[in-house]
Amino acid sequence: MRAQFPAKAQESRPLWLTQIKLRRGRPRENVCVQTAPGESLERAPLQARKMTLREKVSHLSRPESYREKPAAVEVVQTHMSVVFLTGQHAWKLKKPVRHDFLDFSTLEARRADCEEELRLNRRLAPDVYLGVVPLAVTPQGALRLGGDGVPVEWLVKMRRLPSQLMLYDAIRHGNVTRHDIRRLTLVLADFYRRAEPVALDAAQYRQRLERDIHANREGLTPPEYSMPAGLVQSITAWQLAVLAREAPLFDARVEQRRIVEGHGDLRPEHVCLGPEPLFIDCLEFNREWRLLDPADELSYLAMECEYAGASWIGEVVFETYREATGDDPPPALVRFYKAYRATVRAKLSAWHLKDHPNPADQGKWVARAQRYLELAERYAAPVQD
């Protein structure tokens, strides 16, 4: 459902899997105020009524709710989840939300998505995703994480990773090396090589991209987002033109059986540069969005690294991928995928305006969306010989 540099707008980071120091003072925009020990919203017997999300969050925000007894619990809110950070673990609760692309409105749907998140993420981070744990009401009427009784919610339990090992932080601090990028790309190349090709019609693949390009334009045009209409239109027109003019390039990727079920959200925030590179927080709630061309997914990563100020990473990624797989995606295809992904990210940044009415926050998200559009425009510019 996140790069911090001078004069650059930021998006919330995936803090639920990274170990960070709790800081006093002004809380981050996506962090709830911590609930003091002993504070409770539970005023009636739990078995006598349906629990609210607020009550569940209140219980899980208290250190005494966890067997490991952490000194504090940090709470991170996203559009679709609430994540509770304890000393060594992260606990992810799905919000009971419903959108066109997902439905978490029932307890069973949330349990099923937790299990799917566990299954999918164990492909590239097997030791990070530990299990699915119930939040239950015990026979005595107490609320307990992992306890016996009637489940009222389900959470994904994860091992936290050191923040300094995340590619996001390595770029920000200038600590990432060419060797790091080659190592992580080799893991991805092996992942794509082992993945079962997806049976997909070439025309359907192009139609899906065309549909998404139009959806990106529609998502960026509301006047309250203050996006440059001319720029949005020119980027959209260029992507549609490439899709039509270079149709044989896209068709060839399908015919070569390159389309696989990938990660779905391959950004620097989700890459851990440990002894064995790990890739966390894949897109679990919509399979169609995971069915993609590896060249698309690697272009996404390259684009995000360029946005963060490390354009050289994309060059090493594709160089290593070509050497490892023999697959050499055409430059025109890579430029299209980068522009397409930058436009998606611009749309998602603009959508944050609905959740952040504070004028200071609004300015940040507008600037971030516009930077992505400017990046997409660069990819669409004529190639200079």
The domain containing residue 374 runs over which residues? 167-380
> What are the beta bridge partners of residue 261?
291
Residue 125 is given by DSSP the state: -
> Could you tell me if 142 and 265 lie in one domain?
no
> Could you tell me if 341 and 309 lie in one domain?
yes
Query: What is the spatial distance between Cα 130 and Cα 17, in angstroms, rounded to a whole number?
Result: 12
* Number of domains observed in the structure of the chain: 2
- Take residue 372 and report the two structure tokens written for it: 């992505």
Query: What is the spatial distance between Cα 35 and Cα 75, in angstroms, rounded to a whole number?
Result: 10
Percentage of the chain surpassing pLDDT 70? Answer: 86
Domain boundary among 129, 159, 189: 159
Domain boundary among 159, 193, 225: 159
Query: What is the spatial distance between Cα 328 and Cα 1, in angstroms, rounded to a whole number?
Result: 31
> Could you tell me if 283 and 200 lie in one domain?
yes
Average pLDDT over residues 67-72: 94
> Could you tell me if 226 and 345 lie in one domain?
yes
Quickly state the pLDDT bin for 46 (edges 50, 70, 90).
low
- Residue whose entry in the numeric block shows the structure tokens 């549909």: 211
Would you say how long the chain is, in residues? Answer: 385
With a cut of 50, say whether residue 316 has pLDDT above it. yes
Domain boundary among 114, 142, 159: 159
Residue 381 is given by DSSP the state: S
> Could you tell me if 64 and 86 lie in one domain?
yes
Residue 105 is given by DSSP the state: -
Give the Cβ contact number of residue 6 at 10 Å: 4
With a cut of 50, say whether residue 327 has pLDDT above it. yes
With a cut of 80, say whether residue 9 has pLDDT above it. no
> Could you tell me if 254 and 334 lie in one domain?
yes
- Take residue 220 and report the two structure tokens written for it: 């960026």
Q: pLDDT for 102-156, tens place per residue?
A: 899 999 999 999 999 999 999 999 999 999 999 999 888 889 999 789 999 999 9
What is the four-CA torsion angle of 266, 267, 270, 271, rounded to 10 degrees? 90
> Could you tell me if 146 and 179 lie in one domain?
no
Q: pLDDT for 239-271, tens place per residue?
A: 999 999 999 999 999 999 999 999 999 999 999
First to last CA, the chain: 40
> What are the beta bridge partners of residue 209?
none
Q: What is the CATH number of the domain that holds 203?
A: 3.90.1200.10
Contact 371, 11 (CB under 8 A): no
> Could you tell me if 131 and 236 lie in one domain?
no
Prediction pTM value: 0.85
